[in-house]
Amino acid sequence: MAGVLDALASYVTNMLTEMAKEEVSMLIGVSDGIRDLSIKLGDLKNFLADADRRNITDESVRGWVGELKRAMYLATDIVDLCQLKAMEQRPSKDMGCLNPLLFCMRNPLHSHDIGTRIKALNKELDSICERGNKFKFAKLEVYQDMKMTRSLATDRKTDSLLERSGIVGEKIEEDTRALVEVLTSEEGSDKTGRHMVVAIVGVGGIGKTTLGKKVFNDEAIKGKFTKKIWLSITQDFTDVELLSTAITAAGGDQPGGGGTRDRALLVDSLKNAIEDKKFFLVLDDMWGADAWNKLLMTPFGYGGLGSRVLITTRSETVARNMKAAHCHHVDKLGREDAWSLLKNQVLTTEENGHEVDVLKEIGLQIVENCDGLPLAIKVMGGLLCSKEKSQFAWEDVLNDDI
């Protein structure tokens, strides 16, 4: 348990820190949030070491560990979101040294989203720390070998990190083609003929956002719609913030004269930016239907004929409440694709491909424990990177109480 979560905490903490430290002065407010995030994750990581040492099996402790794991996944989402946005707008392949977090912070649309996510996660970690205090864990720093993981994380280029974080194999290509076909079809618009909602549904960490981004960047989509808009929906959004973000993403003008805090004026500005334009809107990470049904649906209803809305969500209920005409369920990775993703994570050079191939049998057992979830496989890959490429070392990871 502690070994894997320790690896995840180290991975997230060091990626965020490295991505921000080059120009911290540019990240006023956000840099403090990242620093707080790093400290809290470090403290919680040490608590995990004591929990593992004491072999605690109490259900309440297991629940607390589950909450911590979810918070770490949310932190990983912040890193991945920066990677995706930076890759989407990268002008050339020569920008291998691009710092994705700095890229997002320079863009007002992205910086608000990332900053809000960091603030919300810090609040959640405060709550987790408070609940953890009742277990009286000691801060034991027993996982010294994780220093290797930290060193490795800082050496990796962000391009490679993004490539290794996604779904691999033919399956994602098939899913992309299927969704693009549905979205570009002339059938399926609502009764007004103006837009159709399509949903990508799947559990956390399975690659919904990665699939959504591939669809968003598909050439057929680019040629079919006048406007493409990507909105990440945080759980604690406000109407004003979401409307303002949507206006900017749609290329519209914010209302003047103090109207940026007036909901009615913001709705009108968004309507003007969208009116009669054939748009493709992605609403990423929808936890409820209100953001669409009670806020965005009205102004986006003025869009042109054949407009499309794509949502990613963990909940089938959200898809139904948004009257999705088509639901695409993201399947877990098959054994071979899961192994391919793990292998890509572990490989550091082409030369050591053979020594990883001979470990395939135990590698398949490791990915089976990840239940086909790309994010879980990525975390395991990060842990294995710090280990010797040997049967004994990999068996040690396999037998860890995850």
Residue partners of 46: CB distance under 8 A and separation at least 6:
137, 139, 140, 141
Compute CA distances 44 → 33, 52, 126, 199, whole Å.
Answer: 16, 12, 10, 35
264 vs 255: CA distance, rounded Å = 10
pTM beyond 0.95, yes or no: no
What per-residue confidence (pLDDT) applies to 182? Answer: 95
Tokens 């890509």: give the residue. Answer: 344
Instruction: Kindly list the strands in the beta sheet with 307-313, ordered across the sheet, starting from the edge strand earlier in the chain.
Output: 227-232, 279-286, 307-313, 195-201, 326-329
Give the model's pLDDT for residue 21: 53
Asked if 253 and 269 count as a contact pair (C-beta separation under 8 A), the reply is yes
CA distances from 85 to 34, 116, 172, 223 (A): 19, 16, 19, 20
pLDDT of residue 62: 73
Q: CA 77 to CA 314: how far, in whole Å?
A: 14
395: number of Cβ within 10 Å:
14
Res 226: pLDDT: 93
pLDDT, position 212: 93
Per-residue model confidence (pLDDT) at position 65: 76
Pick among 3.90.1150.10, 3.40.50.1220, 3.40.50.300, 3.40.50.150: CATH of 170-329: 3.40.50.300
The parts of the chain modelled with pLDDT lower than 70 are 1-32, 34-35, 38, 42, 45-58, 79-113, 136-169, 187-194, 235, 257-260, 348-352, 400-402
What ranges do the domains of the chain cover?
2-165, 170-329
pLDDT at 82: 62
74's tokens:
């949310």
> What pLDDT, on a 0 to 100 scale, did the predictor assign at position 270?
96
Q: Which residues contact 44 (CB under 8 A, 6 or more apart)?
A: 9, 68, 125, 128, 129, 132
- Rounded Cα gap, residues 95 and 189, in angstroms: 40
Q: Which of 118, 101, 91 is nearest to 35 (CA)?
A: 118
Tokens 């070998």 found at: 145
DSSP string, 354-370: HHHHTTHHHHHHHHHHT
- d(C-alpha 310, C-alpha 324), whole Å: 9
pLDDT score for 203: 80
| Assigned token pair, 311 | 């949502």
